Structure 1
Amino acid sequence: MDKWEMYMKIQQLLKQGFSQTKVAEKLGISRSTVHRYLKKSPSEMAEWVETMKSKKRKLDPYKKLILSWLRMHPDMSAAQVQDWLQEKYEGLEIGESTVRTYVSALREEYQIKKETSPRIYEAIPDPPMGEQAQVDFGQTKQKTTDNKEVKLNFIAFVMSHSRHKYKEWLDRPFTTQDVIKAHENAFKWYGGMPKEIVYDQDSLIVVSENSGDLILTKEFQLYRETRGLTLRVCRKSDPESKGKIENVVGFIKKNFAKHRVFYNIDSWNEQGWEWLNRTGNYKIHNTTKKRPVEVFLLEKQHLKPVSKEINIETNYESSITRCVHKDNTIRYHSNRYSLPLGTYNKFEKVCIKETENKQLIIYIPVTGEIIAEHSIPEGKGILIKDRKHSRDRTKGIHAFIDTVAQGFEDKELAYQYLDIVREKYPRYVKDQLHIILRETKDNTSEVLSTALIECVKRKLFSATDFSDIVAYVKRQRRVHETTIVREKEIKQLNKLSEWVMETEAFKRKVDTYTELLEGES
């Protein structure tokens, strides 16, 4: 609908008795637009429409190109149009609002509707400068020059304060070695390291969870220790913990990768780094209202310096390959060793390594991810099974809580405490209960009662905290007992002192002193 037609529609609806608000709702325009149109007489409106037709706009020379993009990719955003223009015409200076208005006008004029999707909002306060970076992985499918489709993978980094970004792409899945190299390249890009890095629970980094604690892959653990990294791992797609990197991954997919033609991985990465300088780190951030590149100039001063380059290579010289059997076991020296349930469905083969202290390490050959460790027994024909690989799930949580609660004198308080632990650790509740149950078996009811009251008082609702408090109570009791012994020893000395004080000294008569004094005179 052109401007003159819009003007006539507004006039007709007003004559029918509709208010300006209702007219705006019916025509899908704002009330201020209706008010602006009504301020003009028919002759003024006609003159204004003619003026607008003859008026040249800054993006008119690129109109055909922009139209071709919008028709080919109806879901293309105005921000991506701006980035593509600046990529194609180096040195082109154009404001975001100018592009947005022009693209909107073209969509309206040529009836090109834009697909929309709900936006994910960030809700976490920004950490201090240099405090934190967030890391995540992404994947896209791109068209090649011969119209085939290729799957690409990328790793993205973002500084949580400044929103300064870095990314790398591969045309194959990432390995742990690739992740480590990407970290090294990111630290070079930033010129330092943040104090903390937040990750997803990715199998390239994390092997498994133990009562909420994380066990890293052998390679990444070695890298972490070498570089002195402080890391925190959160659940996948958790915007409360790492909303910033979730948004960055989406921004890379929609603004950089979408509709871009893939030639080869080297040129793709070069385009990506140019995009970071041109758009990713230069464009004003929608939340902070600042350019990441400008804020990062200050944040860079707060990063930890990176030491000399390191070279971490996987070292499994004596590793041997073994086939995974349907019962999730492998065979080694005529014995069977268990693997986590589901291993057979994921991997056909695994690698094993025998250590000097008779331990068998089982790991994934590509990533170095350790999936099981067993002690090697004497003898043959033995099934060596880790109970974690076939956890008993027949016993309900309620029954388990009942069993643990029986170990306390104040059962009502114990139930209250265990219910909160269950709410706090729903995924690890059995592991938590196992730890508390072990403490109830190894300690007296007096120690357990004191520890339980202290945990509730201090709001420490986890099995590890409970164990720590139990250990603290036991230490305090030992100190108290030692003090009592010492006090008894001191009292015995006091009795001796009293005996000495009660002993009377020999007393001379006063006459003796009188005679001595008179003799001197």
Structure 2
Amino acid sequence: MHENAFRFYGGMSIEIVYDQDRLLAVSENAGDLIMTVEFTKYQQTRKFKVYLCRKSDPESKGKIEQVVKYVKNNFAKNRTFDNLLDWQESSMSWLKRTGNYKVHHNIKKRPVEVFALEKPHLQPVSGTYIFEDILGTSITRTINKDNVIRFDGNRYSVPRGTYRKGAPNIAYVETDTEYLYIRLQQNGQPLAKHKIAQGSGAVISEPSHREREQPKRDLLIQQIKEMLTDKQAASWLIEILSDQYPRHIVDQLKVVQSVILKHPSFIDEALSEMKRLRLTSANDLRDIAITLEIHSRKKHKETGIANEKYKELVAPERREDIYFSVLQGGANQ
């Protein structure tokens, strides 16, 4: 798909925006993205920047969903075709006469004219690259406005706020003999778990899904400030993380909180070292704390080995009158 797009556009943009997909991203990792091995190889070969949209965040996705909706309703809806080649030819004709030629309502310009101005800024693409076929099958359901999904004639709840206006609002569902599991990512952690209902027309809801959450960001900031003894350093850390990771600040704060709980004896030194080295990620703080703890263990172990060398030595014992005579001699002098 990438290669076809690059050939069609006649080049490649410096940065490409992606919605989250299991073929691309393994984890947001609090802003330090971890991508799949296959996509990382491709990205490093083509050397473009990746902008990964956050989960259920319509503001980061722009108007792309409206573009897809426009193509579906204006071109694809009620259109018949015999084969993919016929479909491709029809779509190209539609783009020339309508999709790219019609004046856009908001910008009052034709897309084909705007693209002509932007095309010279595209990066050249040389050679070809073949992706491995790693697509798998999955069952998806739409998340409705009332934060429920429909499955086998029944409705199952998901946590409050899962539905986002303008977002894809797609959930992956999986069942075993007794339970239904709902995920936002196909290989992600279950968002909800329900016992499968018998019959149809039932609404299966978890009470906790209706509760309002406290603002996570403010709560985490308050907890971290209370956990750190150096309040000035705590304020510096929160400020630097907020500036560096505005879209992933909650994830970064969670990493900081985890480091404090796992390495309480080394957190102050790790924070001081992070500030000295001018690092800006909670993952750096975690790595420093782990390193300090490892070095501390090695040092303790080496001290123990050194003391073992003298364990066979026994201090000689002397009679008390010997010490008295020495002291008296010293007094006479």
User: What TM-score do you get using the length of structure 1 for normalisation?
Assistant: 0.33
Which has the bigger relative contact order, CA under 8 A and spacing at least 6?
A: 2
Considering only CA atoms, is the larger Rg found in Structure 1 or Structure 2? 1
User: What TM-score do you get using the length of structure 2 for normalisation?
Assistant: 0.50
